[in-house]
Amino acid sequence: MRLWPRTRLQVGWSDLAAGAFACLAGGDRAALVRQAESYWPDRPSLLCFSVRSGFDLLLQALDLEPGDEVIFSALNVKGMINIVKREGYVAVPLDFDAQSITPTVETLKRALSPRSRVLVVAHLFGCRLDLDALIDAAHDAGLLVVEDCAQAFNGREYPGHPKADVSMFSFGPLKTATALGGALLNLRDPALREKMRAIQEGYPLQPTKRQAKRVLQFA
């Protein structure tokens, strides 16, 4: 697996032409959403504006209490931490093994407290971490496990870890197989997914001209 470096966008002229045509022609929004969300037939998804907006939806849907803790693998994206802090929760760093950049069960146990509610682990630099033992330990501790796959998309081959509660995939401009934006979140709990969808339905739609401007910018 690989992650394209920042100086090389994985988008071609045919992709940009398709994006421009879609901005001009429009389409059935509901049908397009259903098509995108069925990309992995066995893992129903929720289409979001971005991984960060989807993560924010998740925190809202979980109804956490102020002061509850979200544990993050220590090498992570600052924007995700900021979302947790803005909502009034506490971000707790989780150290990892330097050789595998994977948090261990032992470090997770040391990070746990009575206020621990969520574990977020990020696959970075195009790699996929071995999370079996860590997810089992997190579930034993009553945590909801969020797998950040924003840098680990590999087509239909990997829809997320089968034990993860939430797997998040990004298609922003710097990501593999970019669509210049958007994200798919795969959730094991259909009730949680629909609760997030209901919250998102109250959000304003992105204007078509904004996406058209983005397509032109990257062309």
161-178: pLDDT as tens digits? 999 999 999 998 888 888
**Alpha helix positions (H), the chain:** 13-25, 29-37, 51-62, 78-86, 105-111, 132-140, 190-200, 208-218
Q: Mean pLDDT throughout 103-117? A: 94
* Percent share of the chain, pLDDT over 90: 63
Distance CA 207, CA 197 (A): 19
What do you get for the CA distance between the two ends of the chain, in Å? 26
pTM for the structure as a whole: 0.89
Band (6; pLDDT cuts 50, 70, 90) = low
Q: Has residue 58 got a pLDDT over 60?
A: yes
Q: Mean pLDDT throughout 130-142? A: 95
